[in-house]
Amino acid sequence: MGLKDICKTLQFSDLGDERGKLIVIEGEDSVPFEIKRVFYIYDSDPTVVRGKHANKKSEFVLINVAGQSKVRITDGYEETVVELNKPMMGVFIPRMIWKDMYDFSDDSVLLVLASEHYDGDEYIRDYNCYLKERGIL
């Protein structure tokens, strides 16, 4: 299975009508986990690279609810870039996938849904440690 099959692009339901769009995301339905944490990133300019980590436990769905950004994901073997530029699309990032978020537009609001509460100890922030943890190094 390739990285694109593992880190699936998700399309969310639009329940909008003539009054405007309404996107609904339900845990364990439109995203493959119970949502325990939500955070969002904005005011990051195009020169900033965020993320640069993998998680031992947490799974994530990333959605640009406004503006756009890119996420580079790798499993240590393959690498792919997903452009996040639509409020009705997201990308699922399972545990132990390395991710970098970058190329934020000025109006970017990157919403992140997470399967776990925050625990700094489950973050791997060193790429060589990540490769070792995966048995690649």
* Active-site residue list: 53
> What distance in Å separates the CA atoms of residue 84 and residue 71, rounded to the nearest whole number?
8
> What distance in Å separates the CA atoms of residue 60 and residue 128, rounded to the nearest whole number?
22
Torsion angle in degrees (nearest 10) through CA of 54, 99, 11, 4: -90
Under the binding rule (CB under 6 A), the answer on residue 51 touching ligand TYD is: yes
Out of 50, 57, 72, 86, the only residue in the binding site for ligand TYD (CB under 6 A) is 50
Nearest to 136 by CA among 77, 87, 82, 56: 77
C-beta of 51 vs 76, nearer to ligand TYD: 51
Out of 7, 25, 31, 41, the only residue in the binding site for ligand TYD (CB under 6 A) is 41
C-beta of 23 vs 113, nearer to ligand TYD: 113
Q: Which positions ≥6 away from 31 have C-beta within 8 Å? A: 10, 25, 61, 90, 92, 113
Out of 4, 22, 39, 79, the only residue in the binding site for ligand TYD (CB under 6 A) is 39
The count of chain residues that interact with ligand TYD, using the rule CB under 6 A, is: 7
Residue nearest to ligand TYD (CB): 50
Print the binding letters for residues 19-38 with ligand TYD: x by CB under 6 A, - otherwise. ------------------x-
> What distance in Å separates the CA atoms of residue 67 and residue 76, rounded to the nearest whole number?
29
Q: Which positions ≥6 away from 13 have C-beta within 8 Å? A: 23, 24, 30
Out of 2, 16, 106, 118, the only residue in the binding site for ligand TYD (CB under 6 A) is 118
**Which positions lie near ligand TYD, rule CB under 6 A?**
37, 39, 41, 50-51, 53, 118
